[in-house]
Structure 1
Amino acid sequence: MTLEECITEAAQRMEISGLAYGHGTDNAWDESACLVLHSLGLPVTEQADLTLQLDDQQLASARTLVEKRIRTRKPAAYLIGTTWFAGLPFDTAEGVIVPRSHLADFILDEGQPWVVANDIHRVLDLCTGSGCIAIAAACSFPGAQVDGTDIDPLALQLARQNVAKHSLGDQVNILDSNLYQHVTARYDLILSNPPYVPSATLEQLPPEYQHEPSRAFDGGTDGLDLVHRIINEAGSHLTEQGALVMEVGDSWKTLQDSRPELPFIWLETGVEDSGVFLLYARDLRSL
């Protein structure tokens, strides 16, 4: 059996098993390729030789990992200990939300046309989790100092591990801070992918998401407890020309209706209901 045939077989098994995706991949083929390549000790790249002939041991190894994905419903990122975000590899760990965010496009585009990249000298990432947003921001804004905050010990440990993985210790600082609690600087850009799922809907999430810590999703009754706190305090932590960019997912309509005084700019991400907004410091000063 060739590598391509093995991946195809795995994808078919996953499709009929009704798995959910969204942890670095959005379809059965990509996720199968990730699992199979990892099981073979091959890099997860588009340059993989699909004509490679697999021996019986390699085939058994690949099938075992795929069956584990199907049986446990754990995200592939937890099973293989790594995933990709904004074109960068990140270590993963159970107990910390899998790296992902619709903020990736904004970061990869260096914030254009909404901010001037050369004017970004300090960046703050609230609810940093694995550190993926903070690290991606550091790569897109190489002249900026980046702070990432979180209060979860496991997340802080993993974020620092990922900072070290990318040799960014001189540029990225991970802080044990409840949002702005231990933040003293003013920032040109504040980024955040906070919990924004209404508490009552958490149990409706697919099994894959149930393997992640509920605190990473639980945004309170309407999903916006932390979102409002971040917005309300952002003005005092932004520079004069600074901007706040945040993901709120499906809660975007609730947020917009609850804050009619704010001129939200909803950014295109290519994904429906991604709920990524931008607000400038001038719009937040009076809050």
Structure 2
Amino acid sequence: MNLDQLLDDYLSHVAIERGYSPHTVAAYRSDLVELISFTEARGPAVAAAIDLPLLRDWLWAATERGLARTSIARRAASARGFTAWLTRRGLLEADPGARLKAPRAQRTLPRVITEQAVTDALAALSDRAAGGSPAEVRDLAIIELLYASALRVSELVGLDLDDVDRRRRIVRVLGKGSKERMVPYGAPAARAIDRYLDEARPAIVASASASASASASAPTTPVTRAVFLGARGARLGVRSVYRLVAAILAEIPGTGPSGPHAFRHTAATHLLDGGADLRAVQEFLGHASLGTTQIYTHVSSERLKQSYRTAHPRA
């Protein structure tokens, strides 16, 4: 069996048996397709051709092309998973990936928005939503929930109506590795979500149905239980949320990524700044490892240092 066939089997394994997300499977595929191409350039594309020198040369070639340390580290992890699986299948006598080392990914501090900037942004969205536009009411609910519950964007757009417990102010989300968790949200988010679900979402559905009825090519509107809908009445996409957040963050001073994760980072940091327990924040975020959550303690420390340098007379 050639490496292309083995790769298909491996990706099915990690998707079905390991429960990896489509995003993770796509990243594995991208990395390993390049590894197979690199192997083919040196000889037969068979499992036995993958040894430690080849893996090291593959990573070195990526480094020479200027790939970031994070990308190199991810490629090494993809290769290790693949070679471990090949070894378990009996296609390799020993696992070459077990001895493969890659540079540690440099962990940069995430972008965090100040509490005042968040308040101002939400106030501006609320003012726009006051006009009653269904899309603007929806946008306010999205940002309120992103900040209130620190959701990943995939978790947000994946919400269905049954996932929202409006009485208890809790959302049920399916996170990485198909792990389910219950996440609370506060009163301001509750007001925005209730208004969206009671007024704006039905208006979006009605508008989409009317447009579909008038179109010969699309006589019916797809029925969806998604919480957040696009203009055509289907589940809102990740890119739409990215565009919304990018437009908001463009008005806020600061550097760093301008995607929805900025609100997740911000919520986590503000929780720790307010005295929340680190393990409670870990559960809130759905992190498998406490080490992942600890990055926010560094953010809080940096913010403290900056405040000290700005405010202390002998700083």
Structures share fold, TM-score greater than 0.5: no
Going by fraction, where is helix more abundant, 1 or 2? 2
Of structures 1 and 2, the larger Rg is shown by 2
